Amino acid sequence: MLTGLSIRNVVLIEALDLEFGAGLTALTGETGAGKSIILDALGMATGARSDRGLVRAGTDKALCTASFTAPKSGAIREILDIHDIDVDEAEDLTLRRSVTKDGRSKAFINDQPVGVKLLSEVGNLLLEVHGQHDGKGLLDPSTHIHLLDLFGGHQKLLLACAEAFTARRETQRQVDALIALQAKASEDRDFLEHAIGELDRLAPKPGEDAQLAEERRFLQGAEGALTELTAAEAAFGEDGAFEQRLNTALAGIERVRSKFGESESPARKSLDNAAGALERALLEIQEARSAVSEAAQKFDVQPGKLDETEKRLFSLRAAARKYDCDIERLVEARSDFATQLASIDNADVDLSRAQAAAKKAKAAYDKAAEALSKARQKAAKSLDKAVIKELPPLKMERAQFITHIEETGESALGIDKVRFQVSTNPGTALGPLDKIASGGEMARFALAIKVALAGKNDAVMVFDEVDQGVGGAVADAVGKRLALLSNTAQVFVVTHSPQVAARAAHQYLIKKSSTGSTTTTHVSLVADDAREEEIARMLAGETVTQEARAAARQLIAS
């Protein structure tokens, strides 16, 4: 329910705050007083197209706020939850929008900034406008299928169809993906088989990269080291010549020492020291010759070993570059390639299974869509009868109405395209409602449809001049139907008809006044005697007679 509307600086309205109650509310006033401005402001607050033309002259910004009873559940609540908009069930849900004189717009829901698209999405669920200012509603053919489903009570069928469509789309997506995989499988197979074969021949080992790099550094320095060690060996002389000279010197010392016997003379001690030094030298030279020889053997590497090591190292590095990974990951890359190849090899089996699942899902969708379509065909006949029954009292006894259903592409809503078609004059062909009906006729068709849907829709309904061009009994019939609708939903009507206004539970009078060069629109609630006087004025015109007042009392009481 719309509980309030606040307007600031919109066209002729400077400041206006309105509170609304349940049931039927009539907006009345002379032509040009500004009734359409109220609807424009309401549309602005709920996301309808608005521009800087709504900004009151001499001001910078127009601002409109519409307050609604907070929804406890349903589509609106789901949308708000998805967008993390807090809703307190004990407080109103507020939709607010501003438009500057430069055309910039800002939108808010419960004081949280939102896009105008979201504001409009929520606003469309809260409010329906039918008639002269209907920018959506029946003028949008996409809404017709939802109205038919609402009339037919197709919620369970719609849910089953939507679930089947989701499964159908997902299984078909899997089929398409596998078909695409097969299309490039031949090229991929050649690459994968070549890569696996190459890596199998290369047979990389964990840690091999670091080991080969270290071995390469050793081999690169081995040749120079061997040359130095060979020279060191040569310095010892060949065939033990160096040791032989030491032995000759030692033999001479021994002969001298034997001549002095075991004396303790200093000369004898010197000879003993010399002999000991020569003996130690012989031992050290032998150990040195052995150590140098052993070291030389270590650096005496196999010819071509460096080339062999570098070739292996470079092959590993080339493979890593080729397959865009580290050398350490070549083993893992080989495993990945094998997995991909196995996937290709299994593609036929996977595709066959996916196609079977898609076929089953399509059959389930076709069944659900067909059941929904049959239900719509049946509901369409009942809706047509219900709407046509309402047309004669609305002075449209010669009009025709038909719910046209034709098959279209698959969607979550089924396979049907629904469009209301009408003929407003005898002998004229049926055509789309949004193309054939005038503004007043559109509002009356909407009223007839809404009466047929009474109790099945909780959106706030606004009818703009639904009584255009009619009076007397027809206007009274319009009023009765609006009152009937207001038993289950909040209804607003912009009207010039006293018969319609008298049926309302609440009536607001819209007036325009001028002061100097300034024109302002005012809105006031009329009740009791003031309301009787306003209904009488609507009946009689400028001069209100006692007869008009009596007629007004009778209308209000009826």
Q: Give CB contacts under 8 A, 24+ apart, made by 49-54.
A: 49/135, 50/97, 50/99, 50/105, 51/99, 51/103, 52/99, 52/100, 52/101, 52/102, 52/103, 54/10, 54/11, 54/99
Q: Which amino acid is at 232?
A: A
Contact 421, 429 (CB under 8 A): no
What band does 504 get if pLDDT is binned at 50, 70 and 90?
very high
pLDDT in tens, 195-213: 888 888 888 887 777 777 7
Long-range pairs of 336-339 with CB within 8 A, sequence gap ≥ 24: 337/192, 337/195, 337/196, 337/199, 338/192, 338/196
pLDDT at 260: 65
Q: Pick one of 3.40.630.30, 3.90.1150.10, 3.40.50.300, 1.10.1280.10 as the CATH number of 2-132+391-526.
A: 3.40.50.300
pLDDT score recorded for residue 291: 64
Give the rounded percent of residues in the chain with a pLDDT score beyond 70.
85
- Alpha-carbon distance of 240 to 224, in angstroms, equals 26
In single-letter form, the type of residue at position 2 comes to: L
Q: According to the model, what pLDDT value does residue 470 have?
A: 67
In this structure, of 225-234, 432-441, 507-516, the range with the lowest mean pLDDT score is 225-234
CB 77 within 8 Å of CB 71: yes
Structure-token match 């600031």, residue found: 8
Neighbours of 516 (CB within 10 A): 5
| Coil, strand or helix at 312 | helix
Whether residue 282 has pLDDT greater than 90:
no
DSSP, res 46: T
Contact residues for 243 (Cβ-Cβ < 8 A; gap 6+): 282, 285, 286
Q: Domain coordinates of the chain in residue numbers?
A: 2-132+391-526, 190-344
Dump pLDDT digits (tens) for 479-499: 888 998 899 889 999 988 899
pLDDT of residue 546: 85
Q: Which two tokens stand for residue 38?
A: 């109220």
> Over the stretch 213-241, which tens digit does the pLDDT of each residue have?
776 666 565 555 555 555 555 556 666 66
Quick one: pLDDT band at residue 262, thresholds 50, 70, 90?
low
Q: What is the pLDDT of residue 231?
A: 55
pLDDT score of 305: 60
Q: Please, what is the average pLDDT of the chain?
A: 83
Confidence of residue 263 (pLDDT cuts 50, 70, 90): low
Distance CA 148, CA 138 (A): 12
Burial (CB count within 10 angstroms: exposed 0-12, middle 13-18, buried 19+), residue 280 = exposed
Q: Is 0.75 topped by the overall pTM? A: no
Each residue's pLDDT tens digit, 346-396: 777 888 899 999 999 999 999 999 999 999 999 999 999 999 998 988 888
Q: Where are the beta strands (DSSP E) in 216-257?
A: none
